[in-house]
Structures are given as C-alpha cells and as structure tokens.
C-alpha cells in the first residue's frame, strides 16, 4: 500500500529523564558529533524532569550508532533515549472529542509529541505528531478507530511534508455527479448510461470498453450541449477552498479524468490547475460522433499521468497525493505517496491510505498538514 513511508527520512530523537545539570549539554553534544541539524529542537523542563526532542533528516546507517552513543551519553543522567520515524495523525470530523484523541493515541501505540487543532469551515481537525516503529500496524488500528468513532483519520510520514502534487479525479470527486450522465440526460439515455457507469466504477467492466459504450449513446447530439453541461457543473463542497489553499502555499494541483476535456477546460482554467487531462469527444460538423479520439484516460493512464506530472514538477512520488472515488482511481491512489478515497466505492476504500466520508474536499488539507485559513 502507498502512503506512509515505513522508512521515513524524518526521524525524531528523544531523551527523557531527571532534570539533571549537564543532561541537555550531553544530548546536544552527541547530536553535534553526528552532524545532526539543530533546525528543529524542543526542550521542556519541570522541577524534576527534562524532555529533549530533535527532528532531523534520515541518518541512514548512522541511526543505530547515534542511538547507541546517545544511550551511553544519557545513561549517567537516568534518561531513556529513542530514535524513531516521525508521523502525523490527522483526525477529521464534524467535531473531534477528547475520547476520539484518546482512542487514536491508543491505536498508534507510540509517543505523542505535539497536538494542534485545525478549524475548517464545516469540519474540525486535530493533528498529532507521533513517533512509532510500525506504521502498517498503526494504520490498520487507526482505520478501526475511524470506523468505530465515525471520523476520518489519516496517518503519514512527516518526511512527505514538503512541496506536494495533489491530483484529483473529477467526476464525483472534484465535481458533483458524472459528466457523461449529464450529457446523456440531454439524449434521454440517463438510465442506460447510469447503469453502465455504476458497473464500471465497481470494477465489473473494462473502463475503455464501457466508456466507448456510453459515449456511443451521445451520437448525433449538437456539440453546443458541451457548453450547456459545463455551465451546470457544481464543484464538490470545499473543492475551491482546497485548491486555492494548496496553490497559495506553493503546491501543484492536477485533475485526471475519465470524463471529457471539452467540458473541463473552462473549470480547470477558473481553478488555475497546473495540469488537466481527460478524454476527447470526437466532433464533426458540429455534432458528437459517439466516439472518443486519442488515448483513453483509464485506470493505468491515471497512474501514468500522475507520474508524468510529478516528474515535470520535480516532485518525488512520495510527496504526491491522489484523491478519487472509484475503481478507475485504484492505480493512481495506490501509486501516490498518500492515496485518499473520497466518499468512495469499497474497492478503493480497501487500498487507500485514508478515507474522506464527509464529502467535503477541503478535508484533504488537514490530511497533508495544512490549516484551512
């Protein structure tokens, strides 16, 4: 499964014990001996105890050596030392209670370093910064907590908290509804097309074949219907907020769609998306021919396009995010550094790193560590 990088290159080094003179100096001196950056250090004291924390990049083979030297250096002060990967756990819902946080902490079975609350327009989110050894087990247990407490939970490595490429599916993710069904409504073929669409999204049909079957229903429609449908498109709640916030903070945004580029071009321009790719309806003499031209954007094409956009942006795949709702998004979602299922079909929920059940697309923001404002 994609998402949490179980060999994260962001490590948290902690030392906890009695507040003895010289303990902090011994800790920092040992870090300096291993050329550990002091860019992110935390020190907390009470009358009796001292807590020292440092976050740094991967030490590779030096990790074991550093941990051993730190244990030796801090043992005279009665300190316990750990060096472990750092992760963020985002809890998202209409409200997040103390019981929700306690349940998540229990599932993680690690040490919670920090907690912050993120307020969104119609959602509440709490982010925990934790250290843990077994990300796969933590994700499994957090999924159970999310189901039991009716909230959304996302676990990801802090190593991925850098410039992101966030790639959205379009139909029933970025926008409400399915464009092909909107077009079919004008041909009086809604039920026929809807039945094929549902079977395709469940993975029961090859997408390319089902697309051709649905598009064939549109044969003879006046091409002006494309503009009419484009004007009627409604964004999913929170979509505009999510994309504008991502862009404002310097992240790249993309849409890959099994729908049609002629319908999406205006929307992509309005949202200032960095990349957009979809199928192309064939038009002759101002009429739809009932065919598509060029490469079909199917399950594999979506993954390939995600990789293409990431390479073009200079962004590692570990820092990509993919958001979708159907079986056609499985390859893209599992290939991404963080794969998110948005009000999704069971097949996608099973393989995604996190799920959004609120149908608000701005829930993506706290999942990648961003406040809504």
> Closest by alpha carbon to 217, among 248, 252, 182?
182
204 and 198 Cβ atoms separated by less than 8 Å:
no
Grouping H, G, I as helix, E, B as strand and the rest as coil, residue 61 is coil
**β-bridge pairing 152-157 and 275-284:** unpaired
> Closest by alpha carbon to 170, among 274, 2, 316, 322?
322
Residue 46, φ and ψ in degrees, nearest 5: -130, -175
* Spatial CB neighbours of 104, under 8 Å, sequence gap ≥ 6: 89, 91, 128, 142, 145, 153
Give the C-alpha separation, 209 to 227, whole Å.
26
For residue 334, the surrounding DSSP H or E stretch is helix 330-335
Grouping H, G, I as helix, E, B as strand and the rest as coil, residue 11 is strand
> Closest by alpha carbon to 103, among 137, 146, 60?
146
Mark whether 169 is an active-site residue.
yes
Give the C-alpha separation, 237 to 6, whole Å.
33
- Catalytic one among 169, 274, 325, 353? 169
Give the C-alpha separation, 166 to 108, whole Å.
26
Give the C-alpha separation, 191 to 211, whole Å.
15
- Catalytic one among 100, 171, 325, 362? 171
* Spatial CB neighbours of 147, under 8 Å, sequence gap ≥ 6: none
Place of tokens 């963020």: 88
Longest dimension (CA), the chain: 85
Mark whether 312 is an active-site residue.
no
The structure tokens listed for 182 are 């909107």
253 and 219 Cβ atoms separated by less than 8 Å:
no
The structure tokens listed for 210 are 């089902």
Positions annotated as catalytic residues are: 169, 171
């Amino acid at each position: 499964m994609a998402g949490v990088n179980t060999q994260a290159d962001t490590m948290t080094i902690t030392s906890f014990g009695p507040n003895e003179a010289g303990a902090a100096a011994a800790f920092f001196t040992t870090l300096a001996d291993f050329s550990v950056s002091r860019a992110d250090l935390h020190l907390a004291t009470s009358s009796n105890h001292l807590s020292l924390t440092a976050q740094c990049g991967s030490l590779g083979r030096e990790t074991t050596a550093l941990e051993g030297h730190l244990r030796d250096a801090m043992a005279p002060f009665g300190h316990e030392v750990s060096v472990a990967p750092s992760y963020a756990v985002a809890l998202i819902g209409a409200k997040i209670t103390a019981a929700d946080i306690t349940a998540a902490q229990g599932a993680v079975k690690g040490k919670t370093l920090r907690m912050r609350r993120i307020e969104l327009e119609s959602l509440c989110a709490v982010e925990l910064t934790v250290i843990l050894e077994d990300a796969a087990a933590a994700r499994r247990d957090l999924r159970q907590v999310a189901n039991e407490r009716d909230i959304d939970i996302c676990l990801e490595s802090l190593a991925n908290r850098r410039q992101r490429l966030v790639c959205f599916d379009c139909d029933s993710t970025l926008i409400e509804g399915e464009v092909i069904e909107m077009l079919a409504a004008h041909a009086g073929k809604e039920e026929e097309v809807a039945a094929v669409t549902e079977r395709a999204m469940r993975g029961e049909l090859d997408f390319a074949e089902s697309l051709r079957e649905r598009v064939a229903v549109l044969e003879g429609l006046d091409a002006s219907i494309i503009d009419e449908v484009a004007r009627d498109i409604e964004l999913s709640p929170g979509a505009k907020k999510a994309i504008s916030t991502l862009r404002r903070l310097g992240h790249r945004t993309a849409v890959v769609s099994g729908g049609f580029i002629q319908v999406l071009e205006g929307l992509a321009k309005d949202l200032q998306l960095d990349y957009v790719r979809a199928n192309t309806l064939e038009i002759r003499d101002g009429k739809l021919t009932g065919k598509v031209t060029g490469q079909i954007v199917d399950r594999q094409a979506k993954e390939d396009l995600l990789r293409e956009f990431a390479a073009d942006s200079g962004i590692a795949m570990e820092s990509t995010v993919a958001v979708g709702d159907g079986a056609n998004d499985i390859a893209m979602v599992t290939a991404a550094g963080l794969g998110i299922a948005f009000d999704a079909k069971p097949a996608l929920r099973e393989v995604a790193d996190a799920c959004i059940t609120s149908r608000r697309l701005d829930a993506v923001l706290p999942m990648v560590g961003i406040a809504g404002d």
